[in-house]
Amino acid sequence: MRTTLLAASALALAIAAPLAHAHKAGDIIVRAGAVTVDPREDSGPIQHATLGTVTGSGATLDSNTQLGLNFAYMLTDKVGIELLAATPFSHTVGVRDMPGIYAGLNGDLADIKHLPPTLSAVVYPLDSNSAFQPYLGVGINYTVFFDEEVTSSAKDKGFKGLSLDSSWGLAFQVGADYMLTDSLMFNAQVRYVDISTTGTTSLNGDRVKVDVDVDPMVYMVGLGYKF
């Protein structure tokens, strides 16, 4: 009877315990899932060629979710390099808090797209026998903006054209893999990315400029496969 109980207990533990093993040097990891870029913008005031600096005004950006791709290579059992990529993110840029007779300029200005590839070094601190593998990372982000298209309502107000400068900045992340099998894993990660840009447009022939620290939080949830 005792032998039967011990055998049953061992079987239960074997079923409950993860059979997976954590990452090893030389592993290649490919992850895919949903990535949300959530700007926490800190906008400077809008600068108008005639009006000057419009105190209290600024620019806004909304959030967007796209398909994210994540590629990692383990240099050692504990340290890897990781590249975050995604399909282009789409955002609406807005004008806010223009005062008095200029309040009619507030609202959506343009639809834009951007790509924020980010290369990071990551460290896995836990024992390699653990199926749960949290990690920390720091890296470099390059963000390029493109397909800036002024909305029809903004064109009616006299706006024409928009350009956004590209950005280099640091990126910090925390994440975790949970090994479902030796090769398949569930992944979740959060990043803070330092993105700064200057937007330039024209309003009835006058140059308009604004400096914006976009500084988004970037969230990803998905599945990964280890080769």
Q: State pLDDT tens for residues 159-213.
A: 999 999 999 999 999 999 999 999 999 999 999 999 999 999 999 999 999 999 9
| 2 in a structural domain | no
| 115 in a structural domain | yes
| 5 in a structural domain | no
Considering the entire predicted model, what is its pTM? 0.85
CA angle at residue 127 from 26 to 12, to 5 degrees? 105
HSE toward the beta carbon, residue 7, CA cutoff 13 A: 4
What is the per-residue pLDDT for 20? 55
| 9 in a structural domain | no
E-only strand ranges, the chain: 28-38, 42-43, 46-48, 52-54, 58-61, 64-74, 79-86, 89-96, 107-115, 118-123, 132-150, 159-164, 167-179, 184-193, 196-203, 206-213, 217-226
What is the per-residue pLDDT for 12? 41
pLDDT of 1 above 80: no
Contact 65, 33 (CB under 8 A): no
The residue segments making up the domain with residue 126 are: 22-226
| 164 in a structural domain | yes
HSE toward the beta carbon, residue 9, CA cutoff 13 A: 6
Find the CATH number of the domain harbouring 31: 2.40.160.20
With b for 16 or more beta-carbon neighbours within 10 A and e for fewer, the 173-195 pattern comes to bebbbbbeeeeebbbebebbbbb
Q: State pLDDT tens for residues 124-152.
A: 999 878 899 999 999 999 999 999 999 99
Q: State pLDDT tens for residues 59-68.
A: 999 999 999 9
> What single letter denotes the amino acid at residue 102?
Y
**Tally of structural domains, the chain:** 1
| 94 in a structural domain | yes
Contact 36, 65 (CB under 8 A): yes
> H/E element holding 56?
none
HSE toward the beta carbon, residue 11, CA cutoff 13 A: 6
CA distance linking residue 3 with residue 6, whole number of Å = 5
| 161 in a structural domain | yes
Sort strands 217-226 and 46-48 into parallel, antiparallel or unpaired: unpaired
Q: State pLDDT tens for residues 18-39.
A: 455 678 999 999 999 999 999 9
| 162 in a structural domain | yes
Contact 217, 40 (CB under 8 A): yes
Q: State pLDDT tens for residues 97-107.
A: 999 999 999 99
